[in-house]
Copies of this chain bind each other. A is one copy, B any other.
Amino acid sequence: VPTLTRREQQQQALRRDVLDAALVQLDEGGPSSVNWRALARAVGVSPSTLYTYFDSLDALYTELILEIYGQMATEVRRTIVAEAPPAARAREAMAGYRRFAKQYPARFTLVFTDALPGYAAPAGGPTIDAQVAVMTPMIEALAELLGEANGDIETWSAPMRSRAVGAWSQLHGFVSLEVNHHLVWIDDLDAMFASMIDAMLAGISRRGPAGRAD
């Protein structure tokens, strides 16, 4: 491990402080409140000095998105037991996806909706890999259920890919509707989520590797 100079260490610490301040702003006021001037003030530098740490607001957003995907990937993996059967692993991954969104709705919304005016993630850039890392435990478990040899979904046959995207869609849609208060009329969301995921995984298992959408 190369030793960082004192100056490099200070730079890293300040970048970390900026990202922490941005997470606080995001959680408290939504994406539009993540603000260059307020961030500079929060970490005690001038707005122009902040440019020595981040090239632009977009560069800062990209770091923020990477940070959030990283946190979400950790939460998705947290309760997975590597030796468990694939359906159980998929269930834990999906539960983690929901837990993260419920705990940090603004972070979830930021990374999954085009919430930042004028911001576009760099094409083919690091945010893609960071999102893949969130999905990998779920995709690897679905690969086993579907009889695909590996977790690289782009190599799967079209029907299998369609089922995996259908599963992700159902998970993502439920969680999005829930954290945005569109399911408040349902008494027991935990039970409904559990039964929905069970039915989804049972359907995938039943149709299995050679299954048809009959």
Contact = CB atoms under 8 A, between A and B. Distances in A.
A177 B214 CA distance: 26
B199 A154 contact: no
Give this chain's copy count: 2
A20 to B, nearest CB: 20
A33 interface: yes
A198 interface: yes
A180 B117 contact: no
Main secondary structure of the interface of A (DSSP, over half): helix
A202 B213 contact: yes
A93 B44 CA distance: 53
A38 interface: no
Interface stretch (A50-58, A84-92, A140-148, A161-169): A161-169
Nearest to A131: B182
Contacts of A33: 117
Interface of A: 29-33, 105, 109, 112-115, 117, 131, 154, 158-159, 161-163, 165-166, 168-174, 176-177, 180-183, 185-186, 191-192, 195-196, 198-200, 202-203, 213-214
Given A112-B177, A159-B195, 6 more contacts: A163-B199, A166-B174, A169-B170, A173-B174, A176-B176, A199-B213
11 contacts: A30-B114, A112-B176, A113-B115, A162-B195, A163-B199, A165-B192, A166-B174, A166-B196, A169-B173, A169-B196, A199-B213
